Structure 1
Amino acid sequence: MPAQQPAVSVIMPVLNEERHLRDSVRHILGQEYSGEMEVVIALGPSTDRTDEIAAELVRETASGERARVVTVPNPSGRTPAALNAAIKASRHPIVVRVDGHGMLSPNYIATAVRLLEETGAQNVGGIMHAEGENAWEDAVAAAMTSRIGVGNAAFHTGGKAGPADTVYLGVFRREALDLAGGYNEEFIRAQDWELNFRIREAGGLIWFSPELKVQYRPRPSVRALAKQYKDYGRWRHVVARYHSGSINLRYLASPTALCAIAAGVVVGAAVSPWGFVVPAGYLAAITVGSIPAGKGLSLAARAQIPVAMATMHMSWGFGFLTSPRALAAKVIASRRPAVRRDLAGGV
């Protein structure tokens, strides 16, 4: 390992993360990395023990010579505001984004710093490796890493290293964040895509590598998963209106399936039983698709994979179809023009 590695700031937007926060920070502090490190936790208005756990982490690392934890307030509870607050409070030239329920692999930061140097990228990221802690979460994790569940998104299913439109979380050069002006706080969701779009628009490179892996803890219930994917769909439509060239067939699959299923049910109930062929065909497809996805899981987990897939697809489609134009108009009005500058350079 190199004798001199650049200092890094790890930024964490946190809200109601008592279940995973301590473990997530443990994975950061345990990195195989010799450089100086700080962890800046932006605390939203949590209703659980998140703030108490964060305070414990601050006390436990206060005397650390190489790594320490600090906190900053995020009264709005919104992720992009938390990220900007943490960036402002951080000090180091490399900025690593981590969520409160994400677990970094042991060499994540060292690998990311190396990739920044090798590629000249302004942001590098890798695979969102979903892993559950019970049968339901195992089912969601299987759905999230299956092509029938999420399509061909490389940060879910893996792929070859190379330039990308966006990446999961990200490890940034600070100058790229400064040039972009941080995250656009109007993007309650999809803020990563929007920031990476502006970095690319300014001439920067976003790089995906399967070498980078972050364990992700799925939502713990059907209701929480449905809300998550409804929000994803809602904000993906905002992105499509914000940047017309960003839409592709993968993003239209869920809303198309939802419309087809709804039409099939109506036709089946009011006109002919043949209408039920469409929803029946969808159920058959996700049931068959869940078989390879559930390999190695418990029977309880395998049985719930079709439920997880249907929840993700239908919620995403509903969010996409009901996303209001007024929301997109507000976001578009907040757009910041690209500021071009030579972003090439070593770490």
Structure 2
Amino acid sequence: MTPATLPRLLSVIAPCRNEAAFIDAFCDSVLRQQLPDGWRMEVLIADGMSDDGTRERLQQGCARDGRLVLVDNPGRIVSTGLNACIARARGEVVARLDIHTVFAPDYLARCIETLERSGADNVGGPWVAQGTGPMGEAIAAAFQCRWVVGGARSRDQGYEGAVDTVYLGCWRREAFARFGLFDEALVRNQDDEHNLRLRRGGGRVWQSGTIRSVYHPRNSLRHLFAQQQQYGYWRPFVVRKHGQPGSWRQLVPALFVAALALSTLLLPWTPWPAVLLLALYGSYLALASLAAARAAGAWRLLGRLPAVIAAFHLGYGWGTWQGLWDVLRARSPSSRFARITR
């Protein structure tokens, strides 16, 4: 074959750690992806030194199919795993996937098509959640509701156009040469930070509803609160780096937590600030719960939604203040928030 007729190469990258229960199904689903004519792929999976059998399953998969490549990720976090994959990737296009997401059969094909059609530097689809069990379904319903997530366009399945950030992502390889790799100092929010850096450098991020996937969120309040607390904790480190957040709506939970704390301090003198704040937030919880239940078409979730929405907001807001406290004291990030767990 001449260079002009050689198949074009897509590099699929995915970080993982201790995913023995999910890794086989993930690999099988990726290898079944329908690529456009003239394209082939390699699938690089960065394992964060798993100790639950994930590595052994990956090694077996690599022996069965040469498209699978196991990449060591001694850093054990998402950003180091992504960068390790990119360093090994040979494709002209790089697409990131997630172990806990189910992808439409044409997901990668639509990524390539949107990348070429839009001329953007990073493209992706809407962030669609589907939970398991009553609590998981309630978490997914809240996650999907724009009232809960501050109007984020990433939840709008019909939106096509420029966005601040996008779920997962698909880039031309040259984008990493122009805008750099993922920040390995960030355990969370490394994707938001990279998209912010890309946009500040003159690049474009694009969302298309033709790129379809379904994400499976956590299914307990405790795990949800811990996840959101970790997301919130790393937000001030992004702000310190760029002088601004990825989006101003990301600071609203922290302002709510501050107002709640101030109202509590004023209780010995006057209860009215706390009463007013709780009345306003209670009304918001009720309306947001109704909106989420209606959008999900599942009124049976209504009793769980107020607690779920509060876990989203309080976890993220409290985590943001914890991160800001460490930033203001010029401390290194806390080891409490330095490990990704499911």
Q: Which TM-score band (shorter chain)?
A: 0.7 to 0.9
User: 1:221-240 counterparts in 2 under 5 A?
Assistant: 221-240=220-239
Are 1:105 and 2:117 matched, yes or no?
no
> Residue 249 of structure 2 corresponds to which residue in structure 1?
250
1:212 is paired with a residue whose SS is: coil
> Residue 143 of structure 1 corresponds to which residue in structure 2?
142
Q: Which amino acid aligns with 1:45?
A: M
- Identify if the C-alpha distance between structure 1 residues 14 and 256 changes in structure 2 by more than 3 Å, giving closer, same or farther: same
- Identify if the C-alpha distance between structure 1 residues 93 and 289 changes in structure 2 by more than 3 Å, giving closer, same or farther: same
Partners of 2:45 and 2:247 in 1: how far apart? 35
Alpha-carbon contact 1:166-1:193 (below 8 Å) kept: yes
Alpha-carbon contact 1:148-1:286 (below 8 Å) kept: no
Q: Could you report, residue by residue, the CA deviation over 1:51-106 in whole angstroms, capped at 9, with x for unpaired residues?
A: 233233223324xxxxx211111112111100011111221111100122122222
Quote the offset at 1:267 in angstroms.
4.1
> Residue 10 of structure 2 corresponds to which residue in structure 1?
8
Please, what TM-score do these two structures have when normalized by structure 1? 0.84
Q: Which amino acid aligns with 1:257?
A: F
After alignment, is 79-88 or 197-206 more displaced? 197-206
1:176 is paired with a residue whose SS is: helix
Are 1:193 and 2:192 matched, yes or no?
yes
Q: Which amino acid aligns with 2:307?
A: V
> Residue 317 of structure 2 corresponds to which residue in structure 1?
317
Q: Could you report, residue by residue, the CA deviation over 1:257-291 in whole angstroms, capped at 9, with x for unpaired residues?
A: 222233344444x3455433422442342133212
Quote the offset at 1:315 in angstroms.
0.7
After alignment, is 321-330 or 171-180 more displaced? 321-330
**Aligned-residue RMSD, C-alpha:** 2.5
2:307 is paired with a residue whose SS is: helix
- Identify if the C-alpha distance between structure 1 residues 141 and 96 changes in structure 2 by more than 3 Å, giving closer, same or farther: same
User: 1:75-90 counterparts in 2 under 5 A?
Assistant: 75-90=74-89
Partners of 1:327 and 1:242 in 2: how far apart? 11
Are 1:55 and 2:54 matched, yes or no?
no
Structure 2 stretches lacking a partner, 5+ long: 333-342
Structure 1 stretches lacking a partner, 5+ long: 63-67, 332-347
Alpha-carbon contact 2:132-2:219 (below 8 Å) kept: no
Alpha-carbon contact 2:130-2:217 (below 8 Å) kept: yes
User: 1:202-221 counterparts in 2 under 5 A?
Assistant: 202-221=201-220
Partners of 1:4 and 1:219 in 2: how far apart? 43
Alpha-carbon contact 1:264-1:277 (below 8 Å) kept: no
After alignment, is 45-54 or 78-87 more displaced? 45-54
> Residue 128 of structure 1 corresponds to which residue in structure 2?
127
> Residue 39 of structure 1 corresponds to which residue in structure 2?
43
Partners of 1:167 and 1:5 in 2: how far apart? 28
Quote the offset at 1:245 in angstroms.
4.1
1:100 is paired with a residue whose SS is: coil
Partners of 1:186 and 1:163 in 2: how far apart? 27
Partners of 1:53 and 1:193 in 2: how far apart? 31
After alignment, is 210-219 or 270-279 more displaced? 270-279
> Residue 307 of structure 2 corresponds to which residue in structure 1?
307
> Residue 92 of structure 1 corresponds to which residue in structure 2?
91
Partners of 1:141 and 1:184 in 2: how far apart? 28
Quote the offset at 1:188 in angstroms.
1.7
Partners of 2:7 and 2:325 in 1: how far apart? 47
Q: Could you report, residue by residue, the CA deviation over 1:216-249 in whole angstroms, capped at 9, with x for unpaired residues?
A: 1102322221121112112222222322344655
Q: Could you report, residue by residue, the CA deviation over 1:113-172 in whole angstroms, capped at 9, with x for unpaired residues?
A: 111111222211121111112211111111111122111111123453222232111001
Q: Which amino acid aligns with 1:58?
A: C
Work out the number of aligned pairs and report it. Answer: 322
Alpha-carbon contact 1:132-1:217 (below 8 Å) kept: yes
Alpha-carbon contact 1:189-1:232 (below 8 Å) kept: yes
Alpha-carbon contact 1:31-1:107 (below 8 Å) kept: yes
Partners of 1:4 and 1:105 in 2: how far apart? 26
Alpha-carbon contact 1:23-1:103 (below 8 Å) kept: no
2:21 is paired with a residue whose SS is: coil
Alpha-carbon contact 2:164-2:247 (below 8 Å) kept: no
Please, what TM-score do these two structures have when normalized by structure 2? 0.85
Q: Which amino acid aligns with 1:297?
A: A
- Identify if the C-alpha distance between structure 1 residues 52 and 247 changes in structure 2 by more than 3 Å, giving closer, same or farther: closer
Alpha-carbon contact 1:58-1:70 (below 8 Å) kept: yes
Identity %: 34
> Residue 28 of structure 1 corresponds to which residue in structure 2?
30
Quote the offset at 1:326 in angstroms.
5.2
- Identify if the C-alpha distance between structure 1 residues 146 and 310 changes in structure 2 by more than 3 Å, giving closer, same or farther: same
